[in-house]
């Protein structure tokens, strides 16, 4: 049994912070579950989308940021399209992912967020996403070469879908600058 109030006190801010970041009116959610009912990845989440909102309302910061659920959302926006209170959970999840990264909370499905980072890296280098470099990066980061995710890469390669050398953009310096700028 967890004592609700003490956590509540500490994390009243959590609801406010998430609401502010995502710009979603989370307190409006009355748990009609329409989001979960339509969510393609819900079956794989350990907390369903509606529960995530509920947990935020209850101030369960660690559980939420640490959950794989926030990395499973693929932002198909089915939920937002149908939500009676127009809460876009995709948006919410994105905010949560950011917060998770900042807080350095380790996601159960760390690979997922490594993938996100890998993608950014790849763009940062060449200005364009480049699957091979991206996959290498990803695999290096996730440290599991045996992981099935390598196979798609190889298959694509065999299919001639991956050019061996990434195509570079002239403006790539500029891109780097943008990234730098944002760091500040």
Q: Which residues, 28 to 67, sit near other proteins by CB under 8 A?
A: 28, 30-44, 48, 50-51, 54-55, 57-58
Are the CB atoms for 99 and 61 separated by under 8 Å?
no
Whole-number Cα distances in Å, 148 to 86, 155, 175: 37, 11, 32
CB of 40 to other proteins, least distance (A): 4
Instruction: By CB under 8 A, tell whether 119 contacts other proteins.
Output: yes
Instruction: By CB under 8 A, tell whether 94 contacts other proteins.
Output: yes
CA distance 109 to 67: 8
Q: Which of 102, 104, 145, 182 binds other proteins (CB under 8 A)?
A: 182
Neighbours of 172 (CB within 10 A): 15
CB of 143 to other proteins, least distance (A): 15
CA distance 49 to 24: 14
Are the CB atoms for 126 and 163 separated by under 8 Å?
no
Closer Cβ to other proteins, 2 or 104, answer by number:
2
CB of 19 to other proteins, least distance (A): 10
Instruction: By CB under 8 A, tell whether 80 contacts other proteins.
Output: yes
CB of 113 to other proteins, least distance (A): 8
């Amino acid at each position: 049994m967890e004592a609700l109030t003490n956590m509540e006190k500490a994390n009243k801010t959590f609801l406010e912070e998430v609401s502010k970041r995502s710009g979603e009116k989370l307190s409006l959610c009355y748990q009609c579950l329409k989001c979960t009912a339509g969510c393609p990845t819900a079956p794989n989440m350990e907390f369903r989308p509606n529960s995530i909102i509920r947990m935020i309302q209850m101030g369960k910061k660690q559980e939420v940021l640490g959950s794989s659920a926030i990395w499973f959302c693929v932002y198909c926006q089915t939920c937002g399209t149908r939500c009676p209170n127009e809460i876009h959970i995709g948006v919410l999840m994105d905010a949560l992912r950011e917060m998770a990264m900042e807080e350095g909370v380790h996601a159960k499905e760390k690979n997922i967020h490594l993938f996100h980072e890998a993608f950014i890296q790849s763009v940062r280098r060449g200005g364009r996403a480049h699957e091979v470099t991206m996959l290498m990066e990803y695999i290096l980061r996730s440290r599991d070469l045996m992981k099935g995710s390598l196979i798609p890469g190889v298959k694509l390669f065999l299919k001639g879908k991956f050019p061996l050398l990434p195509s570079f953009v002239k403006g790539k310096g500029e891109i780097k600058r943008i990234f730098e700028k944002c760091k500040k």
